[in-house]
Structure 1
Amino acid sequence: MTLEETKSQSRKPKGKRNKFGASKSGGYDSEREHRRALSLKAKLRDGLITDLREQVSFILIPVQRDAEGNLLEHDCRYIADFVYRDRKGDTIVEDTKGVRTPEYIIKRKLMLLVYGIRIKEV
């Protein structure tokens, strides 16, 4: 088997499901996330929420470097599915969760510790 044949076999086929069995839908990672996006966009149009943003990155632990500036560890980030302001002006951070992985749970706790933000799970 050639290197090219090996590479082509290791590629994810088009239309294959994401991890945890979610299927991409409407440009989103899952049908659940797609439905939530449509719902939030409708609320935005109706004036019920403002400042809707998608895939917002939060740095939880900054990059780590040694005394000479060499990279020791990359930063740790949480990427929220949606961030918006409700009618009271409060910032809401949402995640459309199907599976709560141990990694997600740690990041959820770090969001509360670092930013004082409780993630709304939908």
Structure 2
Amino acid sequence: MAGLGRQGEKLKNKYRNRKTTIDGITFDSKKEAARYAELKMLERAGEIQGLKLQPRYEISKTVKWNGKTLRARFYVADFEYWQNGVRTVEDVKGMRTKEYTLKRHRFLELYGDQVRFIET
């Protein structure tokens, strides 16, 4: 979220994304919002079914270590839907961070044979 800097100037988003709202839903970027609009049209046309936003997939279970509990970790995609009987998971990325690359790798290791994964 952009705040105000020292001189009152508005701080820029780290990746220069512009939050965009469609159907009362705020997306992190114009690109993600545009893809949502496309997917909604495809859903209305019957091309896809069951559109979900921000689906979560567990990629690491809760672990006990040194007397502490380390929480489970999740990969959160942008969209999930069904097309021709195949579950499709989409992530809209402008910038691929190291964290994203690691989580994507773990997601594909666990779920890759169950879904069609698309990066846009």
- Whether 2:47 is the aligned partner of 1:48: answer yes
Aligned length: 108
User: What is the deviation of 1:118?
Assistant: 5.3
Q: For the aligned residues, what is the CA RMSD? A: 2.0
Q: Secondary structure at the match of 1:39?
A: helix
Tell me the amino acid that sits aligned with residue 77 of structure 1: F
Normalised by the length of structure 2, the TM-score is 0.81
Name whichever structure is richer in helix by fraction: 1
Normalised by the length of structure 1, the TM-score is 0.79
| Match in the other structure for 1:91 | 87
- Whether 2:78 is the aligned partner of 1:81: answer yes
| Match in the other structure for 1:25 | 20
The superposition leaves residues 35-78 of structure 1 with CA deviations (integer Å, 9 ceiling, x where unpaired) of 0000000000000000100001111011112497x41x222211
**What percentage of aligned pairs have identical amino acids?**
33
| Structure 1 portions without partners, runs of 5+ | 1-10
| Structure 2 portions without partners, runs of 5+ | 5-9
User: What is the deviation of 1:107?
Assistant: 1.0
Name whichever structure is richer in strand by fraction: 2
| Match in the other structure for 1:113 | 109
The runs of 4+ residues in structure 1 deviating greater than 6 Å are none
| Match in the other structure for 2:7 | none
